[in-house]
Amino acid sequence: MLASDTLPVRLAVYLKLLGAGDDSYPQAWRDPASGALPTMAQLAGLDGVSLPTLRKRRDAAIARLTAAMAQAPRTGRPE
């Protein structure tokens, strides 16, 4: 679902949904100084876009994920 997005946009999605300090992130994604994901400003710089543009792309990716989840068949729910 996020395969067409750049890594900085995907990381911005994870940052928004899971938080900066989630322990499931691979070490390669983490900021060596803090151990957390890079900040939004750092991610915007990595992607070569402005911070507002990164936010718009992140929010669009989250909207696509939310729409896909809403359309996915429900399993494991008692009827």
Give 23's DSSP letter.
Answer: T
User: How many residues would you count in the chain?
Assistant: 79
Q: Is the pTM of this model over 0.75?
A: yes
Give 22's DSSP letter.
Answer: -
Per residue in 12-69, pLDDT (tens digit) is 998 899 887 777 888 888 888 887 888 899 999 999 999 999 999 999 999 999 998 8
Q: What gap in Å lies between CA 51 and CA 58, rounded to an integer?
A: 10
Model pLDDT, residue 49? 97
CA distances from 61 to 13, 64, 70 (A): 7, 5, 14
